[in-house]
C-alpha cells in the first residue's frame, strides 16, 4: 500500500529496504579493498585451474 507524501510515494517496503541496507552495510568495500579481494580471487582461481589440483 502506498501513502502519498507530497510528490513522493512511500511504500511499506521502505522499512524493509532500510533494514536490508543496514544489514548489508558491512559489505560495502573501498576501491582499494575491492581490488585486493579481486586479486586474491584471481590468484586462487589460477591456482585451482592448475593440473596438479584436479582430482
* pLDDT digits 0-9 by tens, 15-49: 778 888 889 899 899 999 999 999 999 999 988 87
The number of C-alpha atoms within 13 Å of 9 and in the hemisphere containing its C-beta is 5
In the numeric block, which cell numbers belong to residue 35? 581490488
Q: How far apart are CA 38 and CA 36, in angstroms?
A: 5
The residues pairing with 17 across neighbouring beta strands, listed in sequence order, are none
Which is higher by pLDDT, 46 or 2? 46
In 3D, which of 28, 27, 1 has the Cα closest to residue 14?
Answer: 1
The helix (H) or strand (E) run that includes residue 34 is helix 31-48
Check residue 31 and give its pLDDT.
95
Q: For the residues 1-19, what does the mean pLDDT come to? A: 64
Query: What are the sequence ranges of the domains in the chain?
Result: 2-53
Check residue 18 and give its pLDDT.
87
Name the pLDDT band for 6 (thresholds 50, 70, 90). low
Amino acid at each position: 500500500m502506498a501513502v502519498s507524501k507530497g510528490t513522493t510515494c512511500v511504500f511499506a517496503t521502505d522499512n524493509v529496504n532500510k533494514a536490508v541496507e543496514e544489514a548489508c552495510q558491512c559489505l560495502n568495500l573501498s576501491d582499494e579493498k575491492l581490488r585486493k579481494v579481486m586479486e586474491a580471487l584471481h590468484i586462487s582461481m589460477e591456482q585451482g585451474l592448475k593440473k596438479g589440483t584436479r582430482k
